[in-house]
């Protein structure tokens, strides 16, 4: 697998949406062919909040899936805590087959 980061390092990505830029940062944990994005934070750049539609979020997730699949990962796991939006304080644990 050709991975441009080490397990335990932060991984950062930026995404342009129709309403503004979204930033993402998480601790990358590599467990074989599983990539865990631990303590993920997703936030708008330069503004308090953005109203990003579900379709755009699904498209952004598709970009991440394609990128990590190309690196050789077979599963993506996203871990974090919601601080805003629906159900703040709720733990997030999402497993996605790549």
- Given a contact cutoff of 8 angstroms between Cβ atoms, the answer to whether 55 and 86 are in contact is no
Share of the chain above pLDDT 90, in %: 54
Low-confidence ranges of the chain (pLDDT < 50): none
- Given a contact cutoff of 8 angstroms between Cβ atoms, the answer to whether 25 and 11 are in contact is yes
- Half-sphere exposure in the Cβ direction for 96 (13 Å, CA): 19
pTM: 0.86
pLDDT given for residue 52 in this prediction: 76
């Amino acid at each position: 697998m050709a991975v441009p980061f080490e397990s335990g390092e932060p991984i950062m990505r930026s995404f342009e949406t129709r309403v503004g830029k979204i930033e993402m940062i998480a601790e990358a944990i590599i467990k074989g062919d599983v990539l865990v994005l631990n303590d993920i934070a997703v936030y708008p750049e330069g503004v308090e909040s953005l109203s990003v539609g579900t379709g755009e979020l699904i498209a952004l997730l598709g970009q991440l899936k394609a990128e990590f699949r190309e690196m050789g990962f077979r599963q993506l796991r996203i871990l974090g805590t919601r601080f805003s939006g629906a159900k703040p304080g709720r733990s997030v644990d999402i497993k996605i087959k790549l």
